[in-house]
Amino acid sequence: MGRLDGDRKETIKKNVNDAQDYLGPIYDEVKADLIFDSGGQYSDSVTTAREGRPCEVLNLVKKYRKRIVNPTKQNPYKAEIEFKDEKLAGQTDLQPKLQGILDSTVNSQEGREATLQALSTAVASGYGYVIAGVDFTDDNSMDQKVTLTKVKDPTSIGVSRHDSIDGSDLRFGFHHDVIDKEVAKELYGEDSVIQKDDWVDSVFSKWDYEQDTVPEMVYYWKEPYKVTRVFDSSGEFKDLEKGMKLPDELPEGVQTRKITKYKVNFVHIVGNNEVDSGELPFDTIPIFPVYGEVKYTEERIKYSGIVDVVRDVQTSINYIKSSESEIISTAPISQWVMATGQAKSRPDDWGESNVKAKVLMYDVVNDPKTGAVMAQPPMRVDNTVQTQSLVATRVQNMRDMGEALGMPDVAFGMVEGTQQSGKSVVSRQEMAEITNFDYQINLEKTLDRLSEFCLKLGMELQTKSFELEFKGQKKMVTWEMLDVDLDDFELKIAQGPRAISANDERVSKTIEVAQLNPAGIPMIWDQLLAEAGNEKMAKRYRKTLPPEILEKENGGSGIDPEAQQALNTATQTIEEQQGLMDSQNAVIEEQGTIIQQMQAKLLDDSKDRETDLDKELIKGDIKLKEAELRSKTQIEVESMKQSGSNKREVFKAEEGERTELRQNVKEAKENAQANIVPFDANMGPMVEGPVVPEKPIE
């Protein structure tokens, strides 16, 4: 800690005063808008002039602001990072690590609260901010983390003049606050509570702080520096780090150029004392603006919110509502109107009816001739006519407010009943989003820059290097930084109210088209469930769909992955069984060849002495054996088809059957040979019964 030097003081004083001169008039309007949004909708002069009279506030501005902000709260944005080339996704685990950095910063509860606060003040007044920084995770560790701080009062932020909507071209920025004097003395020492001097007066003169408080400010500024960037022949480049030198002669195709880069410094000032300062591990001012709509005036160009649009209409509504209350509070008590004689029996009860609550009994006045009732029950005089015109004007002003904001709603500010359909509610919300896109788009731009900042800073914090003294020796302790080329990744802002509305619109249109062909709705039901965000139900429903209508997945098979796997298994089994069938057919053909050879041998041996009867017997026996063989083979094939899972047992059974078949063939061959009788001239014919004579009997 120490006192600020003169040059730094002068630079800070000049920049702070420039920002105050530039933003001072704007911030006066911003503060007035925020007070108006919070319900402070009567000026001091009006409150004084209406002393003793009602000053009611029917704050519709706050409700309209919530209608714009709450969809983001309900469906928050999410920063996501993905590989541009899907082939790289399975080769490294960098993507989950980088997504983890985003989930712990921008996508965290702290990050979302900060961005929602910025959006809320931007919708109301046109200006909102988020502050990013670095802090230790705890007192017992050197680990650091990225912090995102929400800014409740945007007028506590000062920035340089800039053109970008996301603040990427800021040259300096600061945020200020006040701290209790005793707390400052305890935390930062006696110097922090020194009496004001010219420096304090010049820097903090436009900030209001009480006597027992001390002003506090953290000031950031960019400092440019030059580096040499080396390009190779392929266009890849690398910046020369400190201590690195180029060779006297560069290789062929290598070129260099000087570029400007930035480093960010900061100084923390409490009172007149510098309590902390140094260089930060990033190259951009860590103040991220969220702006409203652009407004052009004669004096300047600024940003504005909804208060600037509806201030006059809201004020008129308040005056009318106050007048209604005033008329009602000063109106005389309505008198009773009744026929003569209706209060005849109870005059005291009716005379005290305005001050005492009781059941009032009246006398029925009848026609003396007919007995018919001549008068209605007593009733009070209707004095609502005095406020009817005011109510009508107030309702019209409420409609005018919705029209001015682009969110027409005849029921706004009134009780919404069950008679309103869900579609009308969704339609009103879509109208609100369409006419107020500027707020969401500006927020998305800021979130994109904030996400990139948190990602780079989170990667930088993976590298830690410091000197550690141990037993008189100093050692450099270093952790390796994540080796990441962000050009391989795509950073995008997903989800959010705009994405949800677009998704709902797609689902609605799909259903409308499907209603033209109701029979086809079941075929697209899984897609509707997926679009609606219920992927779990969609996945379950897809299992009920026929394969031919599923989207082509897994290389264009067109079949559900589980069904495809089962089909592949069944196909492989059938192919194996077909192979066994082919091998058995080969055995059958081989055995058929043997039988044919046997037939030829039998025919050759018996020559022409064999009778046709012998041939038929042999052929019949061979056909019988062949039929039995084929029948057994067919049975085995069918059995294999039905019990493909027991391949080993089937194979053993087949082997046994083949052995049996070979044995049968062998026996058939032996039997056939046994039946062949050697040729003998003395033998008679091989038939029983009458012998056919060689010559016909004359």
Distance CA 224, CA 221 (A): 10
Distance CA 290, CA 128 (A): 5
- The most confident of the ranges 39-53, 104-118, 645-659 is 104-118
Distance CA 33, CA 26 (A): 11
Q: In Å, how far are 38, 40, 146 from 325, measured between CA atoms?
A: 22, 19, 53
pLDDT in tens, 368-411: 778 788 888 888 877 676 677 777 877 877 777 777 777 766 44
- The verdict on 579 and 666 lying in the same domain is yes
Phi and psi dihedrals of 359, rounded to 5?
Answer: -80, 125
Phi and psi dihedrals of 22, rounded to 5?
Answer: -75, -45
For residue 319, tell me if it sits in a domain.
yes
- The verdict on 535 and 570 lying in the same domain is no
Helix (H) or strand (E) holding 631: helix 612-642
Lowest-confidence region among 10-24, 231-245, 626-640: 626-640
For residue 140, tell me if it sits in a domain.
no
Residue 482 CB neighbour total at 10 angstroms: 14
Of 105, 175, 112, the closest CA to residue 134 belongs to 105
In this predicted structure, the answer to whether residue 620 has a pLDDT above a threshold of 50 is: yes
In this predicted structure, the answer to whether residue 6 has a pLDDT above a threshold of 60 is: yes
- The verdict on 493 and 575 lying in the same domain is no
- The verdict on 321 and 430 lying in the same domain is yes
End-of-domain residue from the set 514, 535, 555: 514
Q: What is the pLDDT of residue 94?
A: 74
Angle between helices 109-125 and 306-330 in degrees, nearest 10: 70
Averaged over 525-541, what is the pLDDT?
A: 66
For residue 539, tell me if it sits in a domain.
yes
Instruction: Judge whether 13 and 206 are in contact, CB under 8 Å.
Output: no
Which residues sit opposite 267 in a β-bridge? 219, 277
Q: What is the pLDDT of residue 2?
A: 47
| β-strands 287-291, 473-478 pairing | unpaired
**How many residues does the structure list for the chain?**
698
- The verdict on 606 and 540 lying in the same domain is no
Decide which of 317 and 96 is more confident: 317
In this predicted structure, the answer to whether residue 554 has a pLDDT above a threshold of 90 is: no
Q: Is 689 left (phi over 0), alpha (psi -120 to 50) or beta?
A: left
Distance CA 354, CA 332 (A): 11
Distance CA 384, CA 386 (A): 5
- The verdict on 445 and 506 lying in the same domain is yes
Q: What is the C-alpha R_g of the chain?
A: 48
Residue 445 CB neighbour total at 10 angstroms: 20
Lowest-confidence region among 62-66, 78-82, 426-430, 564-568: 426-430
For residue 317, tell me if it sits in a domain.
yes
Q: What is the pLDDT of residue 32?
A: 94
For residue 599, tell me if it sits in a domain.
yes
Distance CA 278, CA 2 (A): 13
Q: What is the pLDDT of residue 470?
A: 40
SS (H, E, C) 591-620: HHHHHHHHHHHHHHHHHHHCCHHHHHHHHH
- The verdict on 475 and 588 lying in the same domain is no
Q: What angle do CA 297, 303, 308 make, to 5 degrees?
A: 75
For residue 330, tell me if it sits in a domain.
yes
Q: What is the pLDDT of residue 90?
A: 58
- The verdict on 328 and 443 lying in the same domain is yes
Phi and psi dihedrals of 146, rounded to 5?
Answer: -85, 135
Distance CA 494, CA 338 (A): 70
SS (H, E, C) 347-360: HHHHHCCCCCCCCC
In this predicted structure, the answer to whether residue 444 has a pLDDT above a threshold of 50 is: yes
Q: Which residues neighbour 410 within 8 Å (Cβ) at sequence distance 6 or greater?
A: 399
Q: Which two tokens stand for residue 534?
A: 């219920």
List, as one string, the DSSP characters of 146-178.
Answer: EEEEE-S-GGGEEE-----TT-TT-SEEEEEEE
Distance CA 624, CA 628 (A): 6
Instruction: Judge whether 178 and 215 are in contact, CB under 8 Å.
Output: yes
Q: How high does pLDDT run on average in the chain?
A: 75
List, as one string, the DSSP characters of 192-240.
Answer: GGPPP-HHHHHHHTTS---TTEEEEEEEEEEEEEEEEEEE-TTS-EEEP
Of 165, 167, 192, 170, the closest CA to residue 181 belongs to 192
- The verdict on 597 and 666 lying in the same domain is yes
- The verdict on 576 and 656 lying in the same domain is yes
- The verdict on 454 and 600 lying in the same domain is no
Of 616, 617, 575, 596, the closest CA to residue 588 belongs to 596
Distance CA 655, CA 662 (A): 11
pLDDT in tens, 562-611: 666 666 777 777 777 777 777 777 777 777 777 777 766 666 665 555 55
Kindly tell me the burial class for residue 121, based on how many C-beta atoms sit within 10 Å of its own C-beta (0-12, 13-18, 19 or more): buried
Question: Torsion angle of alpha carbons 283, 287, 292, 296, nearest 10°?
Answer: -70
In this predicted structure, the answer to whether residue 155 has a pLDDT above a threshold of 70 is: yes
Which residues sit opposite 304 in a β-bridge? 293
Decide which of 382 and 637 is more confident: 382
Count of the separate structural domains present in the chain:
3
Decide which of 113 and 625 is more confident: 113
Name the band, by pLDDT with cuts 50, 70 and 90, for residue 683. Answer: very low
For residue 157, tell me if it sits in a domain.
no
Distance CA 450, CA 472 (A): 43
Cα 372 to its chain centre, rounded Å, is: 75
Q: What is the pLDDT of residue 37?
A: 94
Q: Which residues neighbour 593 within 8 Å (Cβ) at sequence distance 6 or greater?
A: none
- Establish how many alpha carbons lie within 13 A of residue 18's alpha carbon, considering only the half-sphere containing its beta carbon: 14
Residue 199 CB neighbour total at 10 angstroms: 17
In this predicted structure, the answer to whether residue 31 has a pLDDT above a threshold of 90 is: yes
Full residue range of the structural domain in which residue 634 is found: 563-675
Q: What is the pLDDT of residue 151?
A: 94
Which residues sit opposite 278 in a β-bridge? 266
Question: Torsion angle of alpha carbons 329, 332, 333, 339, nearest 10°?
Answer: -150
For residue 581, tell me if it sits in a domain.
yes
Q: Which residue has the tokens 């141990």?
A: 470
- The verdict on 443 and 590 lying in the same domain is no
In this predicted structure, the answer to whether residue 645 has a pLDDT above a threshold of 70 is: no
In this predicted structure, the answer to whether residue 203 has a pLDDT above a threshold of 50 is: yes
Q: What is the pLDDT of residue 160?
A: 93
Phi and psi dihedrals of 217, rounded to 5?
Answer: -150, 140
In this predicted structure, the answer to whether residue 490 has a pLDDT above a threshold of 90 is: no
Instruction: Judge whether 640 and 583 are in contact, CB under 8 Å.
Output: no
Instruction: Using a pLDDT cut of 70, give the percent of the chain over it.
Output: 65
Which residues sit opposite 224 in a β-bridge? 262
Q: In Å, how far are 157, 354, 532, 542 from 536, measured between CA atoms?
A: 46, 66, 11, 10
Which residues sit opposite 336 in a β-bridge? 380
Of 594, 588, 664, the closest CA to residue 633 belongs to 588
